[in-house]
Amino acid sequence: MVEYLFIKKTIDEWDPIGLLEMGCPNDEYEPEIREIERLSYHAKSIDELALDIRQVLIKWFDECLPIEKCYPVALKIWTEYQEEN
């Protein structure tokens, strides 16, 4: 549960599509966060996690963010995950 809450906080702060800024409900990224959480357990590197995050956004929003925008978020999640394990 800690991982989920941390990933939710990280993604919500990032607000990659700007949905929360537009006033959407605070659970707007729920399915994406669950998928990112699942993928974070299996990622073998920060680069892989950044690509996974990018793919999740493409899948759910048809939004193709540059990998450079996904990398800092992947780094934050990866670092937290490594510290807990």
Looking at residue 67, what is its pLDDT?
A: 95
pLDDT digits (tens, 9 = 90+) for 44-64: 999 999 999 999 999 999 989
Q: Collect contacts of 80-83 with beta carbons under 8 A, ≥24 apart.
A: 80/3, 80/6, 80/10, 81/3, 81/40, 81/41
pLDDT-derived band at 2, boundaries 50, 70, 90:
low
Its pTM stands at 0.90
Predicted local distance difference test score (pLDDT) of residue 20: 96
